[in-house]
Amino acid sequence: DVKVTQSSRYLVKRTGEKVFLECVQDMDHENMFWYRQDPGLGLRLIYFSYDVKMKEKGDIPEGYSVSREKKERFSLILESASTNQTSMYLCASRRDRLQGYTFGSGTRLTVV
Amino acid sequence: DQQVKQNSPSLSVQEGRISILNCDYTNSMFDYFLWYKKYPAEGPTFLISISSIKDKNEDGRFTVFLNKSAKHLSLHIVPSQPGDSAVYFCAASEAGNQFYFGTGTSLTVIP
């Protein structure tokens, strides 16, 4: 089974901090995605990557950046955390465009 | 603007009865649809898919129906079990691009 691992289940950070959320997948998947889930808003796409060193903005990229230096790892960076970035963050991957996603367990981030 | 909508935030069903979860979309170019199930504090897990060349796909207790003319899909769970209690998300994509997700429906199956 494909495994998508998010490094932290719960994080508490202070406003203004730089925050790194890490995601690693172990099945050589080409595509990786970062979503956030908020009540009443569903899952919204922040950034995605179809290949190493490649990144594309999703629907809500403001305040975020990403890094994909290696195929298996896709990092989400909050440059200066704000309280409105308190959310559940979900990483997902898929082998190619013909497949659905496999999700990680999520990181619940609270910014205080 | 939300391209995939789940208009019922919650649904309660008696154990053993049918659960019907609905999803509407606006983009007629969407050609691949998924349903995911999510428990609290866990990531979504894949449940069932359907492509636009079909109007029905069945997997055990789960059946997804697609009505392309109405831009509507539904997930039927028969019979419903307490372990089915979770949030269900539908998702849609066009030509293998990224998936757009609905806002989710929280299903409670009452024993």
- Asked whether the predicted pLDDT for residue A2 surpasses 70, the reply is no
| Integer Cα distance of B101 and A36 in angstroms | 11
Sign of the Cα torsion B84, B35, A2, B38 reads negative
Contact residues, chain B, for A42 at CB < 8 Å:
2, 4, 6, 89, 101-104
Looking at residue A1, its pLDDT comes to 65
Average pLDDT over residues B87-110: 93
> Residue A1 contacts by C-beta under 8 Å, 6 or more apart in sequence?
none
% of residues, chain A, pLDDT over 90: 79
Instruction: Give the count of alpha carbons within 13 A of A19, CB side only.
Output: 27
Note the pLDDT of residue A100: 83
Cα–Cα separations (whole angstroms), residue A67 to A31, A37, A52? 13, 21, 9
Q: Residues of A near B (CB-CB distance < 8 A)?
A: 4, 6, 9, 33, 35, 40-45, 48, 58, 90, 92, 96-98, 100-106, 108
